[in-house]
Structure 1
């Protein structure tokens, strides 16, 4: 099956991973814009990553991460509850990219909308390590949204030579 076979399929479900960053917030705004015309459901997923250094987290720290993440997702759902879009919140534990992709498959997500951040290293400077993995590994379309205030091509003037 080619990518063109899905070109006309309506978007019914959109997944937006969030870590509470500005980039994730901007991605959520864009996802809501995509969802409204087609009455799509937006899933907001936050992943508690305790796999990076499992020895670093005790039971109390994991419980605190879970609580903080749950509050974050609840706040997002509440903040956008007045929109004419169904928003579902979810929290998972695991490695962010693989957990996001597993959630997308489990929930038959049609589109993944992620924020772009630039923190460390070459891949991170371009996309962010989790975003980079999602773009490379996802079997569904991925839209990468720059954080608000990011200077991109939309802000550059293009001059033609006469």
Structure 2
């Protein structure tokens, strides 16, 4: 997979990236609308080691943009004001809808793991809740770039 061209010194290992994506609560999703204007929105997500799963309102600009043009960029980062604590991951690729829209809980093997991960992460291990307003988008990244400026201390 193409990705880190520069900044390899501060790149996260696959294990560091997976741990980081598994613990961060919010990502920012960038889409492009039919008018060509960008749109960025915050969203909860889960990472399964190969794909980023986004549980999005199906009546949102984000959903409409992705249905119109599937290319997206997602940033997950943290660190605050201290430069040497900045770290993050950018994932780029195409998102696709998985399951019924909106999701009502129809059995689907492909969604068992993401829904379990989502419930574990955001509901303390309870059951995933279907509200009839959200649907699943899966981003299998074509490019992943990461940074952890704490590595500059070494």
> TM-score normalized by structure 2?
0.26
More helix by share: 1
Bigger CA radius of gyration = 1
> TM-score normalized by structure 1?
0.25
> RCO (CA 8 Å, sep 6+): is it higher in 1 or 2?
2
